[in-house]
Amino acid sequence: MVKSEKPRQILRTIVVDDEKPSREVLCNYIREYCLDLKVIAVASSVKSAYKTINKYSPDVVFLDIEMADGKGFDLLNMFSQIDFKIIFVTAYSEYAVKAFRFNAIDYLLKPVRIDELKEAVEKVKLATVSSPGIENLALLISNFRNGSSTVPTVVIPHLKGFEVLKIAEIIMCQADGYCTNFYLTGNRKVISSKNLKYFDEMLEDQNIIRVHHSYIVNLNHISGYTRQGEINLTEGLKASLGDSYKNDFMKRFGKK
């Protein structure tokens, strides 16, 4: 007897964007390349989006950041509970995109690329209750309201889910194959499923710098360095100083 295939779960989707061409392009891409999604409605403003989401109770919302009558974050603040997954669509500059990565929020950069759309949808489909959710949205909203790319916390994904760390408690990060070891105050250690390059790019504006192909360190936790190319850090930790990173390290550490 041949087993019947498990029915595909179709995620009911709403697209929110005040620009009609952008809205239509995204809807067409979803219909053609994202067979697990079904666009059930669209909205062109914060006000109409609130009504539409309440009416249709979608599984997924593609949400534009800047609209004529407000921001996507204004829309989210109107809900006492967010029980739908969100993929932000933004034309923001690179500094703001980092804010999304800090908080592990799915986003698409305009103009939307098909490969990035498919990747974001796959992440949404695989998301579980342990995935970053409303807590990270709160961090992200706060960051944008403050008008700064500097945030006090960062979300660290790992094999069991994620952990929110205060940047101030990060002493150093060490490459471990395709993973990254985070060494923290209080003799704590977190192993992330992301590689060191991912966090090097994310944390470069947070007083955390690359000092070796295997290390990035928090300048606020440096207690000294030796001529042998070894950086001494708080709580007895040490990191190697690579020759190609020495000049930048001396400039940055000298400013500290």
Query: Tens digit of pLDDT for each residue in 173-197?
Result: 999 998 999 999 999 999 988 889 8
According to the model, what pLDDT value does residue 189 have?
94
DSSP per position, the chain: -PPPPPPPPPEEEEEE-S-HHHHHHHHHHHHHH-TTEEEEEEESSHHHHHHHHHHH--SEEEEESEETTEEHHHHHHT-SS--SEEEEEE---HHHHHHHHHTT--EEESSPPHHHHHHHHHHHHH--TTS--HHHHHHHHHHHHTT-S--SEEEEEETTEEEEEEGGGEEEEEEETTEEEEEETTTEEEEESS-HHHHHHHHTTTTEEEEETTEEEEGGGEEEE-TTSEEEEGGG-EEE--GGGHHHHHHHHHH-
According to the model, what pLDDT value does residue 138 have?
61
Domain ranges of the chain: 11-145, 165-255
Domain 165-255 listed as CATH 2.40.50.1020: yes
Other Cβ atoms less than 10 A from the Cβ of 165: the count is 18
Q: Would the pLDDT of 95 be above 50?
A: no
Query: Tens digit of pLDDT for each residue in 31-78?
Result: 999 999 999 999 999 999 999 999 999 999 999 988 899 888 888 888
Do 11-145 and 165-255 come out as alike in CATH topology? no
- Residue closest to 33 by CA, chosen among 144, 89, 112, 146: 112
According to the model, what pLDDT value does residue 220 have?
92
Average pLDDT over residues 252-256: 66
**Cβ(153)–Cβ(167) below 8 Å:** yes
- Fold for the domain defined by 11-145: Rossmann fold (3.40.50)
Q: What residues form DSSP beta bridges with 165?
A: 154
Query: Tens digit of pLDDT for each residue in 70-82?
Result: 888 888 888 877 8
According to the model, what pLDDT value does residue 44 have?
96
Please indicate whether residue 16 or residue 83 has the higher confidence score (pLDDT): 16
